[in-house]
Amino acid sequence: MTFDIIKPRAIAPALGAEIGGVDLSNDLDDATIAEIRRALLQFRVIFFRDQDITPEHHLAFARRFGDLVDYPMVHGLDGYPGIVPVIKLETETDNFGGIWHSDTTYLAQPPMGAILVARELPPDGGDTMFANMVMAYEALSEGMKEMLDGLVAVNGSAKAAVAKSRADRQKGMIEVPDALVAEHPVVRRHPETGEKVLYVNTGHTMGIRGMTEEESGPLLEFLFRHQRAEEFCCRFQWRPGSVAFWDNRSSQHYPLNDYHGHKRVMHRITLAGDTPF
């Protein structure tokens, strides 16, 4: 795939590319937006460096790719409800979403993607890992693919590790809703590329429909280990002005929690998705 306007540079063989030649504070033309979308589909996650953007710029850029949706159970910024602050304070030990996951697969229509902007960073650490779930599926044996075809995963919002990572973000909420649950294919089709995607994740997938926990547990644990194999991953080191845009339909991510005693502030916008099939 060639690009005439933007300048993608792959950061790892599996996925991820830094995009040069784009200033996100500008009103980008349709041709540039189209190339950025193509890059997202090809690389699964794309990054922009040295961006000086306001919340208004952040919102305007995100809206070029679809409708915005609220992130469940977390407040948005005052005056900008579509932007969720993702914060770890110096006194906190748990970070938000600090486990391998696809975003909010406990919803009937999980997000298409998310755009995250670095606002305040620790002096070291706080990188984010990403993994390619198309590659993870393709690396499975033919026997495993055949077995997974047609299986349906049960996903929930209350798995212990990820629920704990949200606790500090939920302080001051009037009410924390009951656990959310949704069922999705273990192997989904990407709605734009048609690729098959391994669509379970350790953050939210609780079981397989029609199986006991004893039956589904070992299978899911194998898939969770398989998904985070190094050959499917890239690691992004944040700098001030960095922006990440990931395709939540074909990737997973894991924000590393290695910067205790330091503050980290990110701003996140979530884009509406579709019903997995």
Place of tokens 């949706």: 69
94 has catalytic annotation: no
103 has catalytic annotation: yes
Report the Cα 9 to chain-centroid distance in Å. 20
Beta carbons of 208 and 199 less than 8 angstroms apart:
no
Looking at this protein, which amino acid is placed at residue 109? Q
Beta carbons of 202 and 99 less than 8 angstroms apart:
yes
Choose, from 249, 253, 264, 267, the residue flagged as catalytic: 253
Choose, from 58, 101, 169, 184, the residue flagged as catalytic: 101
Cα dihedral 101/106/107/112 (nearest 10): 10
268 has catalytic annotation: yes
Strand 17-20, strand 45-48: pairing? parallel
Choose, from 44, 58, 103, 249, the residue flagged as catalytic: 103
101 has catalytic annotation: yes
Q: Which two tokens stand for residue 112?
A: 């298409």
What is the longest distance spanned by two Cα atoms in the chain?
54
Count other C-beta atoms under 10 Å from residue 273's C-beta: 23
Which one, of 267, 277, 256, 266, lies nearest residue 125 by Cα? 256
Choose, from 44, 184, 188, 268, the residue flagged as catalytic: 268
Instruction: Catalogue the active-site residues.
Output: 101, 103, 253, 268
